[in-house]
Structures are given as C-alpha cells and as structure tokens.
Structure 1
Amino acid sequence: MKLFCRIILAAAMFSTCAWAQPGPAAQAQQPWWKGALFYEIYPRSFGDSNGDGVGDLNGITQHLDHLQQLGVDAIWITPMYPSPQVDFGYDIADYQAIDPQYGTLADFDRLLSTAHQKHIKVLLDMVLNHTSDKHPWFVASAASRNNPKADWYVWNDGVDAHAPGVTPFQQRYVHDGKVPPNNWESVFGGSAWQWVPARHQFYYHRFYAQQPDLNWRNPVVEQAMFAAIRFWLDRGVDGFRLDAISTLFEDPKLHDDPQLPGTNDQGDPNLRSQYSDNLPEVHDVLRRMRAMVQSYPGDRVLIGETYTPTVAELQKWYGRQHDELQLPMDTQPGFGDGANFSASWFRRALQDSQQIQGEPLIVFDNHDNTRSIDRFGDGQHNLARAKVIAAVLLTTRASALTYYGAPIGMTTATPTRKDDVRDPIGITGWPKEKGRDGERTPMQWTPGFQAGFSSAKTTWLPVNPNYPDVNVQTELAQPDSLLNWYRQLIALRKSEPALHDGAMQFLDNGNAKVLVFRRQGPEPVTVAMNFSDAGQPLSAAIAPGAVSTLASTAPELAHASSLHGVSLPPYAVWVFKPAAHPAAPGTP
C-alpha cells in the first residue's frame, strides 16, 4: 500500500514522499540480489573466442574482468542450449546441454567457476512456455495421438470451416475442412495454431510455429521442466530469468480473445489476450518453483519477464506471501506506455515503483527493444540523456538490470534492407516491423578489427559502424565517457549505504524540468537531474546546509559546497550529500 506523507519546508514548495525500509538488523540479513546490478549477455554477440563470427561461452569468460571492474553483481545469459536457432536460442531442443556453437558443458562450468571467483553470480534464461519443434518431446508428441507424450503440448481438432461464428481470420487457415479453434494469434504474426497432418490436429504456439506451447495442465510436464531447472541448480547457477512467464496457461475452453480496433504490424487484427495470457494458474506453478529453488543454499533468485500495465499488476508476481518471484521486472520507467524523456514522467514512474511491497527491479534495455539511448534520445543530446538514464537506473531504490553495450552507449543498428534482416519477425513484418537485429549487434570492445568482438571476416550480425568511437577501450581512456560515468555511479552504489538501502524521498515535485530525490540514511544522498536543454536553478531549500559532491556530469559542480546560487546545467546530474564539516553560518 502506498504511504503518503507531506513535509513543509521553509519555502513551503517542496513535497516529500518516503517509503519505509527494513531496519539495520533486517538489512544485515538481506540476500545478495537485493540492490544488485544484473547485466544481460546475449551470447551470440558478446565475445567470439574461436573466430567463427558467433559469440560463445569462452568469449564471455574472457571478458569477466571487464564486468568485475565495472562492478556487475550478476550476469544473465540468454539461452545457450541446443537449438535450431529459429528464435536465436529461445526455441530450445535440449534443456540440459550446451549448443555446440557456444561451447560445451565443460566451458560452461569453467565460466561459472571463474565468475564465482570474481564474485559475479550467474543466471540462466529458462524458457518454460514452449520448446523447439525439434525437441524430442515434440517430435514424439506430433507423431500420433496415442504416444506417451501425446498430451505434453496443446492440441486441438479445430472446428468446421463453415461453422457459425468462424471469423475470416480463422478461415485463412483451412486444413482438411478444419480451421483453428479460435482467433488466437501468434505474437510473431498469423494464427497461433499450426496443423499437423500426422495427428490431424492443430497445436498451439504463442510465438513462432517452431515454438509449440507445452501443456502445463499435464503434471508430468511440470515435473520434466522442474528437472531441467534442478539440473542447472545442481551445477551451481545462482538463479534464472523466466522468459514469457505469464504465458504458461491458456483458457481450457479456448474462448476467443476480444478484438480491438485496427491491425498490428503483421496485418492481423489487434486482440486483447484475455484468454491466452496471464491466467491465474501460473501463480501456483511459481509458488512450487520458488519452494524448490529455495531448497538450495545461496539465495538463488527468480527474475520474471513481466510486462505489466501497472505496478498493481506487477505486485501479483511477488505472490501474496512473497513466495513467487523475488524480482519481477518493473518495465514501467523504461518501457511503459507513454514513456518519454521528462522529469514528470520519471517522477511518476519511480514513485509508482516505490509502492511495490518487495524489491523493485528497474529495466531500461534488453534484447527485444530498441536501445534506450535511441528511445530517449533527441538526435542531438543522446549521450547527455543516456547519462541521465544511467543515474535513474543506478541511484533509484531498486535492483537494476542493464544490457551489454548500454554502459558504453551502443546504439540500435536497424537493418535498412529486408535482405539484411536475420530476425524472422523482421522478415515477415517488413517494413513496419524491422525485427530486433538492431539491438543485438556485436559488443564493441576496441576500435580495432570487428570492434575486438571477433577475428572473423564476417560476423553473424555486422558490427555497428560507430565502433571506432563507441567502444570499451576508447571510453576507458576518456574521463567524461558514458562508461566511466557508469563505473562511478556503480561504485557509489556500493560505497554509499544510502544509495544501496535508503528509502526514496521525492523533493520539489512540482518541478517539470528537474527530478530530485533523496536516498535516506545516516548520511543521506541527494540526486538532482535536469531533463531539459537549459540550465535550471536549484532552491537551497532542497539542502540548506553545506554539501559535498559525490558525482556529477557537470565539471562546474565538482567543488560546489552548497546549493546557494547553483544552476543545474542542461541535462546535468548532480549527486551530493551533506558535507562532513558544515560551513559556518553565512558562508556561501
């Protein structure tokens, strides 16, 4: 429940909101993931150790020193299991092995051991909703209606093509006089039902046709998937990011989803996924999964891919007894509808995040969305704005999730020709939907050949042409680079108790240009961010006494001793705390 409080300061113009936090005794026992910085790695694009143009596990291991120096607490590796790579690993053919293009189980064990030596946790992506159509389970299930795995997936006879109520959309998919049983659509376009002649039935696929949905109403399926989770827990992984977790169950009566006005980028009717997503049964599964994971030592963690319209909906993913996900992703600040680069937007979104009864997990970038430096950029001040976004991510009371390349300002390199697209959704949706290749290009390590990612002449996706300037090596040598700004904020996040554990107190809530909040504690830390392209004055009432700068993107604020007469430069961030030795009365 949201707790409001109001404090009237001297100028009677600053409203303050704070949320209670655990006391010192509780904080001392907090799990490692509370307040942690997670770093998503797309293995195809992070580091190529064998020169074949595709990243691999050894390539990740080779760059762990960089992640340690950056200050990362945990890495999340997107699927590296055996896969036909239709959806680049999210179509899994074996949950208990490594795809040969990424290496071997021995390579994974070495990666895990090396990461742990460097105090970096390792999380894997677990895809529970569907498998590849090449998985032995589905091959068996699709062979007949009476094999041992016949009901491991969602099958249906369909309906007569001329039955009352059949829609024109369904009639596009006629097979032997039958059409899909309802209007459900694949996220990637077309009907979510695929015909299999051997069974004379349709199977359901929420995503690509090559990704058939598992039947989670069959308890044997749950047992098999939990066994896959235990396989990796037994090897020592520290947790999982659960892909598309809301989609595990569908309405058993197969009601049509309500139709909305217009069509999507694939040309299909817009639907509201009332009966094909976010059904309550998924929470029962999560409680059982959480209990299993908690039976292992070391505070193993479950992160959920949870795109929700409100924090009230997000709250459900923690569980009524906080017995489901420890960290459902709060995508409202970074991806929410109407997200824009303004102090008002972020103030409202962050205030909402602080309503959560549990640890928020803030996300701005991932492998499925245009990079935040482009989404929040204006074409002229993208780098300055990216520094503001970094401050929002790393100084808010929340755990934080970033994505490879974000700390150096990698940009989205969307293909300009359909012939260059690798992502299937970009091929089928072109030109309205250009796919997700742009945010998945190879990591830019150096200004040298192939950005230091690979020795191959051709990489699986081309390296972004801006790599001579945007790369780790170059930015490490530039004191004011985005990378060094990330490093500075991450270090402060670890060294300043208020930035790790302190409640958030929002100040100057009526200011449309500047976002200010204070992280509370014995040594409170205040963060001020200018979201405009003009200097903005700061009232001394925010911090009446002497202050000491901890970090700032504006060099002129490095030695500021108070807020008297201070103007926050365009797109500037200023992080400060009370000075250790307050200035004498009257001292400016």
Structure 2
Amino acid sequence: MATTKWWQQAVVYQVYPRSFQDSNGDGIGDLPGITSRLDYIKKLGADVIWLNPIYRSPGVDNGYDISDYYDINPEFGTMADFDQLLAQAHQRGLKIMMDIVVNHSSDQNKWFIESAKSQDNPYSDYYIWRDPVDGHAPTNWGSFFSGSAWTYVPARGQYYLHAFAVEQPDLNWENPKLRQAVYDMMNFWVDKGVDGFRLDVINLISKPTKFVDGQPNPGEPYADIGPIIANGHRLSEFLQEMHAKVLAGHDLMTVGETPSATIKDAQQSAGLTTNELNMVFEFEHMNLDGNPAPELGKWNDQPVDLVDLKQSLSKWQTGLQGTAWNSLYWNNHDQPRIVSRFGSDEPKDRVVAAKMLATMLHGLQGTPYIYEGEELGMTNAHFTKLSDYQDLESLNAYHHLVDEEHRVSATQMLAYLAHMSRDNARTPMQWDASLNAGFSTAKPWLQVNANYPKINAQQTLASDASIFSYYQHLIKLRHTLPVMTTGTYQLLDANDASVYAYLRTSDTDQLLVICNFTATDQIRDYDQLPATAKLLLGNYADDQGAALRPYEAKIYQF
C-alpha cells in the first residue's frame, strides 16, 4: 500500500439515534442527546461517528424508509440541532458519516406519491413498475421482509417492486433524472459539511431489466430476491457516476452495505483505484450461523462454527489485500449482540469474552466499526414474549413461519428471535443504573435490557480493567502501529476448532494474535513466537504462555 488514507487508520463508532440518548423526555433518542454524549465517544478514541438515518420518515423500518431526504425526523430534532451536532463533533476532531438509503424510499416520499398517480407524470419512472402477468405479480420474487416483492396500485394498473417492506418502493436507477436527484441530495449534505456516507444496500440499485415471469405454486416459497438483484450489470457504472458527481474533490469516507457481494464484487466496489467506494460491508461471516433449513433463513439459535468463521474472514483478508479495503464489524443495528452470539454473556465469562472478540476483530486489516454499547459488553435482551419486539423483520418472520407456514412452533421461533432479532441491538444505551438506564426519564420506545444495573457506562468507566478501557487500548494500537493498518495477514492452524490465531506482518514489525473462542482451557504453542516476543495486549492480568484460559486473547509483538 503506497499511501495510507485517513479512513484506513480510523475507527468508527456507530450511533443508532433512536436508542442512544433522549434529551427531551419522550422516550426516543435524539440529536441533542447525541451531542451531549460526544465527549464519551471522544474518550473512547473513535474518529468517526456513523449516524443511522435521521431523515423525515414514517418509521416503518426505523428510518430506512425516507419520506424527505432534505429534512430531519422531528422525533430526533431539527436541522438546527443537526448543525449543532456537526459543529460540536468537528470541534472535538470527530467526523460525521451519514447513512443514506437510495435503493428505496418511503411510499410517503413525494416522488412516490406522484409516481403512483399515473403512468404519465414527471415522476412516473422514478420507481420500478411492471404490468400484471395473467392477473398476477410479474415475478415470484419474495421480499427480504417476507411475502411478495410486488404490490399492485390500481391508479396505475401496475405493480411496483419493493425488495423490503411494502412501504419501501425501490427506486429506478435506470432513470438518469432519478440518479441526478439522488446526487443533488447527497451534495446538499456534503455542502453542509458531513464527512462521508454509509450507503444502505447499495449493491442492489442495478436491477435486471428483463424479469422472469411466474408465481410460486401453493405451498412453495417465494424466490430469494437477494441473489437476483444484487451486484447488477450497471452497479459499477452507477457508483463511478456517483463518485464523479458527489465524492470526487472531497476527502470523504464511504462504505457500502453489500449483501451477497463476493470478493470480486468488493475488489471493484471498494477497489483502491476504481473510483467507487472506500470499503464495503460484506455479510458472509454474519450468515454462517443461519439455519441449515433454507426456508428458515437466518433464524437459528445455534453457535457459529469457528473453522467456518476463520475461513470466511481469512478469505476476505487475503482476497482484498493490496486491491481493496475491508470494513471490520461484529455488531450493528441489524445484528444481535456479538458477546451473546459468538462469545458468552454468562456473568463469569462476559468481560473476557467481549475483550477477546474485540481483539480478534481489531487485529485484522480494515477499518473497525464499534456499535453503541459494544464497548460495554452489552448483551442480547433475552426477550421472552412476541409483544416485547418491535422490529418489522422479526414480527413478519414470526407471523410467516409460525402463523402462516407452520414451519416452526411459537416456542422455537421465540428462541430464534431471542438469539437473532435486530431488536437485540436496538435496546437503549445503558448509561447508568438509574431509571431506564439513564437513557430517558420517560418510558423508552423499546424496553431497556434488564441487566442495565450491572452493565452500564458509569460502572464501566470507573474501572481500569473494563471492556471500555480495553477498547481504548485497541484503538490506540490502531492509531500508533502501522502494521495494524498495512501489515499482511496469515492464518495459523486453519482447522483448529477452538482457537483463532493469525499473523500480521510488515517490513519492520510482526504481530501474533491468539484468541480462545471456548469456555475451557486450551494449550497452544506457536512456532512463530520467538523468545523475544513482547505481550502487547491481553485480556487477562498475566501471561501464562502456551496455556490459554477461557476466552483468553493475546497480541504479541516481535
């Protein structure tokens, strides 16, 4: 790597505004609340704040259904509140990365309201419309959120495509006027001074131009829309056009969410020289613990296989080395809490397990992302009733798999939700042991995790041996050790089902990262470790050499 970009050395802290901090007592997090907690994020050591969508939205999919790209959701505050947040962040040396959703909009967006009126209006082709086929939807595609991906509008006599909820119609990127409208909107935010964009499901914007007709027979599932529409034939063209019309000439950070992306796709979309995006979020390692029964998709409650996890992450590390850039994440607003998922949230193991998972991820090549509460070791919520959940995906899946298809029992589906629901990530931030975890003086929009009296920021900040403190050390290594950014990656013992160990190597430095993924002692003696090796960081107070304790993690430098 000839030169290092600032975003390659950066660490990103993701804020889910609805759940971060409520400042006005309505039970919903807001922009002034985020502003009030900037010093906390700065103390952690992060460089960039990724804000989940804050635009005006009816909230069908928690803000990923945008009705006005130029306005702030009143639940979160005003544009003046955003300007204040941006200014205060910049004063502290923190950058702000906006979340942009341009694969689809809300059905309450003025573009769609006009488009749905007739087949002859200025916005008619802003969305993807098709005629019925034999009185049915044009294809048998199923939406990501269950059911058909098509909805009929009598006023037009046509169906519109929605890869997600019915209320989230897909934009028609084949229309140059639509594309220019998107670029104009993005430039509005660039002109305000934002520092980058996270682009939601951006690799779905190039759809097939010829659709395959057909509806599923009774009892047959809908066709999986993901592989059908992902990484379309004009994706690279559209991203390069976006780069030319928005990103070029600005020192911005861009990351694209890219479900179903391959190494080859990422080498193009996140290529170091392709003039598209800086990096992408791939999903492969997050899909490894899905259900073996395809019809159940991600809904499962079984642990990930470590050999599979190593194979997946290593493939991306070596595949993008020198050609493109990785994003590194365990958690986000769409994923359950990683310490509950890949580690252990048992009280005796939670702290060391959370530190181990952090070590494993932050030692890799790429830009690390920390999701709010990850630095506290926040856990899954362990909800026990369907009424506890608000996530649209979870509720739709329950009704589809339990009530309609009768594929799983109610008890089993609740176990799946407790393990995998997106609401596990969306419970309010646990600031202290006071009412509602210090998040709000009112009843929160989603109930607080019951363990907040024992797991919260106030308690964590009081300890030098905390998970928060450990993240601070990891971030400092990222900022000060070039090998963490530029070093090559080599997996050790690929078939070891208990320990993940790898080397990072530069011309002047070498690191050995060792992570025990089990709750039992392990003995590992690595030939690559010379006698002069120095323990750079570990999640236990001492080093017992080849003996690895439960969930132990170590980084050696030599």
TM exceeding 0.5: yes
Match of residue 352, structure 1, among 315, 319, 322 = 315
Aligned to 1:226: 183
Aligned to 2:365: 397
Once the two structures are TM-superposed, the CA of residue 196 in structure 1 deviates from its matched residue by 1.5
Q: How does 1:170-569 map to 2 (within 5 A)?
A: 178-256=135-213, 268-271=221-224, 273-297=226-250, 299-308=251-260, 310-318=262-270, 321-336=273-288, 344-354=307-317, 355-356=319-320, 357-378=323-344, 380=346, 381-413=349-381, 415-430=383-398, 431=410, 432=413, 434=417, 435-456=421-442, 458-509=443-494, 511-521=496-506, 522-539=508-525, 541-557=527-543, 566-569=546-549
Instruction: Compare CA radii of gyration and give the structure with the larger one.
Output: 1
User: Partner letter of residue 67 of structure 1?
Assistant: I
User: Partner letter of residue 555 of structure 2?
Assistant: V
> How far apart, in 1, do the equivalents of 2:499 and 2:324 lie?
27
Aligned to 2:550: 570
Once the two structures are TM-superposed, the CA of residue 334 in structure 1 deviates from its matched residue by 4.4
Q: TM-score, normalised by structure 2?
A: 0.87
> How far apart, in 1, do the equivalents of 2:526 and 2:338 lie?
32
Once the two structures are TM-superposed, the CA of residue 341 in structure 1 deviates from its matched residue by 5.4
Residue ranges of structure 2 left out of the alignment (5+ in a row): 291-301, 399-409
Residues 138 and 214 in structure 2, CA contact (< 8 A), matched pair in contact too: no
> How far apart, in 2, do the equivalents of 1:309 and 1:129 lie?
16
Once the two structures are TM-superposed, the CA of residue 327 in structure 1 deviates from its matched residue by 0.6
> How far apart, in 2, do the equivalents of 1:342 and 1:555 lie?
28
Name whichever of 248-257 and 396-405 sits farther off. Answer: 248-257
Name whichever of 392-401 and 246-255 sits farther off. Answer: 246-255
Change (3 A) 1:545 1:420: closer
Change (3 A) 1:221 1:120: same
Question: 3-state SS of the aligned residue for 2:70?
Answer: coil
Once the two structures are TM-superposed, the CA of residue 510 in structure 1 deviates from its matched residue by 5.9
Change (3 A) 1:111 1:496: same
Change (3 A) 1:200 1:406: same
Residues 148 and 222 in structure 2, CA contact (< 8 A), matched pair in contact too: no
Residues 102 and 199 in structure 2, CA contact (< 8 A), matched pair in contact too: yes
Aligned to 1:105: 79
Name whichever of 282-291 and 542-551 sits farther off. Answer: 542-551
> How far apart, in 1, do the equivalents of 2:479 and 2:218 lie?
48
Match of residue 51, structure 1, among 25, 30, 37 = 25
Residues 47 and 55 in structure 1, CA contact (< 8 A), matched pair in contact too: yes
Cα deviation, 1:499-534, whole Å, max 9, x if unaligned, reads 233222444556443333333242433222223333
Change (3 A) 1:421 1:508: closer
Aligned to 1:582: none
What's the % identity of the aligned pairs? Answer: 39
Question: 3-state SS of the aligned residue for 1:159?
Answer: coil
Cα deviation, 1:362-387, whole Å, max 9, x if unaligned, reads 22111112221121135644443322
Cα deviation, 1:405-464, whole Å, max 9, x if unaligned, reads 1111112225432333322333333254755322211101111121111111x1111111
Q: How does 1:20-169 map to 2 (within 5 A)?
A: 22=1, 26-27=2-3, 30-160=4-134
Change (3 A) 1:398 1:280: same
Cα deviation, 1:481-509, whole Å, max 9, x if unaligned, reads 22222122112222223223322244455
Name whichever of 30-39 and 522-531 sits farther off. Answer: 522-531
Change (3 A) 1:300 1:309: closer
> How far apart, in 1, do the equivalents of 2:482 and 2:225 lie?
44
Residues 414 and 437 in structure 1, CA contact (< 8 A), matched pair in contact too: no
Equivalenced residues, count? 523
Question: 3-state SS of the aligned residue for 2:8?
Answer: coil
User: Partner letter of residue 326 of structure 2?
Assistant: P
> How far apart, in 2, do the equivalents of 1:117 and 1:140 lie?
42
Higher helix share: 2
